Every structure is written in C-alpha cells, then in structure tokens.
Amino acid sequence: MSGAALSNLRIDTARLGADLAALAEITEPGRPWTRRAFTPKFLEGRAWLEGRMQAAGLTTRIDAAGNLIGRLAGKTSGAGVLMVGSHSDTVPDGGRFDGIAGVLAGLEIARAVQDQGITFAHDLEIVDFLAEEVSIFGVSCVGSRGLSGQLPEDWLSRIADGRDLKAAIAEAGGAIEEATPRADVKGFLELHIEQGPVLEAEGLPIGVVTAIAGITRVLVTVAGRPDHAGTTPMNARQDALIPAAELVLAIRAKADALAAGPGHFTATVGEFRMEPNAANVVPARVEMLIDARASERADMEAFLDWLGTEGARHGAEVKVLSDNPPKPSHPAVCDLLEAAAEKLGAGHRRMVSGAGHDAAWMGRIAPTAMVFVPCAGGRSHCPEEWAETGDIALGAAVMLETLIEMDRLVPVIA
C-alpha cells in the first residue's frame, strides 16, 4: 500500500483482492484482459458479478439502460440513493483494473457497511455501467448516458455484428426505450486507477479528481494534387503532406503552450491517412484526426479558434466532429473526499482526469466526484496495467468514509 501503513480501514483488503483476481480470469482466451461490451465473455463477467452482489446481500437488477445495479436498502423510504460505480467492460487486451477496480471497490463498500452494522438513511446502489469503453458500435459510456438521460437517439440505430445498438442493449437485459433520467440519485462516487504517472511519481495513494476534461475531436483535411514523384519538378508540386506535416508540428507547439497554463490540456494527432500512399506518387490528400482534451472550456475554445486560423493558412479544411465540455466535480464532495483521506492518514492531492469516465455523465444529474489510485508506471489500456490491492482498498475506504458523511449531509450538498 502506498503512503503510511494504515490499520484503521473498514475495508477487507484480502476479500477485495480475491474478487479482482477472479474477475480478471474471465477473459478472452489468449487475450488478457479482454471482456468487451456486447460479447459473450462480457455477459459471463456480468453473471459472475451479479452473483457476487447477491452473495453480499444486495438486490440486483438490470435497468432500462443495461446497467447492472446492486441495491442495499436504507432505513428511510424515499430518501433517495447514494451510488457508487464504474464499469466491467474492457478495451482489447488491457482491462485488468480499468473500471473493474471501481465496481469491485463499490461491492466491498457494500459488504463493509453490512459487516460493521452501518445503516444509511439513503439506499446504497453499486453500479456496473454498460459499455463505458468505446464499443463495437463506436460509442462509449452507453449505460451512464442512458441512466442520466443523455444517450443520443441516433446512436440506437448504429449497426455492428448484425444488430443495432438498441438490440444489443436488450441482449444485455435493458429496454432503452423505457429509460428515463434518474431523479433519485443524491450523490455519486467513482474509484478508478489514475491511468497516468502522477500519483506514483509523487508517492501519493489518493487523487481527488476536481474535473473530467472535455474531449473534442477534429478532422483536418489537406488537399493537394497527385503527380509523378520522379518527373514533377520540386517547384511545381502541390504536395499535401508538406502543409499537413507543418500543421502536426504546430498543433504540438500550441498544445504545449496551453498545457503550460493552469488547466489540463492535451492535443494528439492520433489518426493520419495519406492518399494515394504510394512511393512514386506526390501525396494528393491527407486526413488527420485530432483528439483534444481540456479541463477549462476557455482553453479548448482558444485552441479551436487558433486551429481554424492555422488550418486556413495551410489550406486545410477543419471540421469539428464532436465537442463535449469538461465536467467539474462537485466542490463539496471533493472536500469530503479530502477530509476522509485526512482522517485515514492518507496522502492525497487534487488533480484533473484527462480520460473520460462514467462520472462525467453522472455529474450532470447528481453531486459527483472521483477517487484516483496509483497504477504502475502510469500504464493503462495495455496488458501491463497494474494496481496494488492495498491502494484500491485505501481508495474504497476513503469513499466509504465519504459516503457516511454524504448520507448525513445530502440536503447541504444537493
């Protein structure tokens, strides 16, 4: 466990570790750790998880958006719900802890509450959200968008493997046409591995996430003219690759400048396609896809304004494909998480998430915040992804202490 050796946790670390190991074993043969949403292996993992929820005394159901929910009733009928969750689906070859740690930490919290005779006024729900990762349908956060009433209608007709998304949600047990935004959620917490190197480098076991960066994706197209690479004089060419390459370097420089400010900012040219992509032909067309992320909306707007001007200067067409704003965490919930970490003697820091999470959508309907725990080398979305059970247990303990306070303070933080 990172930080001080703690003996005052209410969490059973060994039990949590056994669950993490058991769920990791449910993976596509020869492809650790792979349980993609809308596949038989994902449903096998879901069945195992539902069984563990039921064994822990939770009442389980699949909601209309296809989310698996385990419920522990509170003592005050109609008081509403405190919710903890994440996702059990994975990216290909790289999901041993990403998402899974948050679902199983929630399950262990529910067990700890019962083991120690803690009674909440509010219901406690542990949620495994459907398809948080980019799925075979090319979209992500399906379950949390559906639960919070933010799933675009046109997504439901997307086709993959011979059926549309609506049918795939039904295969997972949902009925998306019946989904309505939840109005009873009074607070939401999510634990996740950091997926970056900051906590490990600073020797801190807990990150309190103050915001989830907004994600914007931009298609940039540069047109040139195909000509013979051996006979066309250098001064007579319209080579699309030259301005495109200059743009890539300029994007990096602009991102570096924005990242030097107070907010979190990244921009990545992650896809790059050249036509006709032949050694003896002058490049005629280049397309690049930019993934830009910002915790401050003003930084993203500044980047997009600059990109429009810079793209025009290089003769490029710039088209914004998607643009999701950042989602700040609830300040009072962040304060409670910090107070819980202090109570447990756990070192902590505030930080921004550059990755998207279900919490970004839940934060639109309820007071929400996240806890990050370290992962080895900052590695994630790869087979080498690793987090120590003790760190996950400590994160769960911080959330449990926070939930106890949230249960008492719901009218204050609403």
Statement: residue 34 has pLDDT above 70: yes
Known binding residue 330? Answer is: no
Cα–Cα distance for residue pair 285/244, rounded to 1 Å: 9
8 is annotated as contributing to ligand binding = no
Q: How far is CA 215 from CA 57, 139, 167, 258, in A?
A: 38, 13, 28, 15
Say whether 67 counts as a known binding-site residue.
no
pLDDT at 6: 54
Q: Characterize the bridge pairing of strands 206-212 and 327-328.
A: antiparallel
| 228: exposed, middle or buried (Cβ count in 10 Å: 0-12, 13-18, 19+) | exposed
Q: Does 98 carry a binding-site annotation?
A: yes
**Half-sphere exposure of residue 205: CA atoms within 13 angstroms, side-chain side:** 25
CATH entry, 214-323, from 3.40.50.300, 3.30.559.10, 3.30.70.360, 3.40.30.10: 3.30.70.360
> What three-state secondary structure class fits 294?
strand
CA quadruple 174, 179, 183, 188: dihedral sign: positive
Q: Is 280 among the annotated ligand-binding positions?
A: yes
Does 87 appear as a known binding residue?
A: yes
Domain map of the chain by residue range? 13-213+326-413, 214-323
- Look at 40 and 6; give whichever has higher pLDDT: 40
pLDDT digits (tens, 9 = 90+) for 57-81: 999 999 999 999 999 999 999 999 9
Do the annotations mark residue 192 as ligand-binding? yes
Length of the chain: 414
The two structure tokens encoding residue 311: 């793209």
With a cut of 50, say whether residue 2 has pLDDT above it: no
CATH of domain 13-213+326-413: 3.40.630.10
* pTM, entire model: 0.93
- HSE value, Cβ hemisphere, 13 Å, CA-based, for 242: 10
* pLDDT per position as a tens digit, 314-331: 999 999 999 999 999 999
pLDDT bracket for residue 7 (50, 70, 90):
low
Q: Where are the beta strands (DSSP E) in 233-346?
A: 265-275, 285-294, 316-323, 327-328
| Lowest-confidence region among 86-90, 127-131, 289-293, 410-414 | 410-414
What are the residues facing 83 on neighbouring strands? 125, 188
Q: Is 277 marked within a binding site?
A: no
Task: Report the percentage of the chain scoring pLDDT > 70.
Answer: 98
CA–CA separation, 363 and 204 (whole Å): 25
Return d(Cα 290, Cα 220) in angstroms, integer.
8
Euclidean distance between CA atoms 299 and 326, whole angstroms: 11
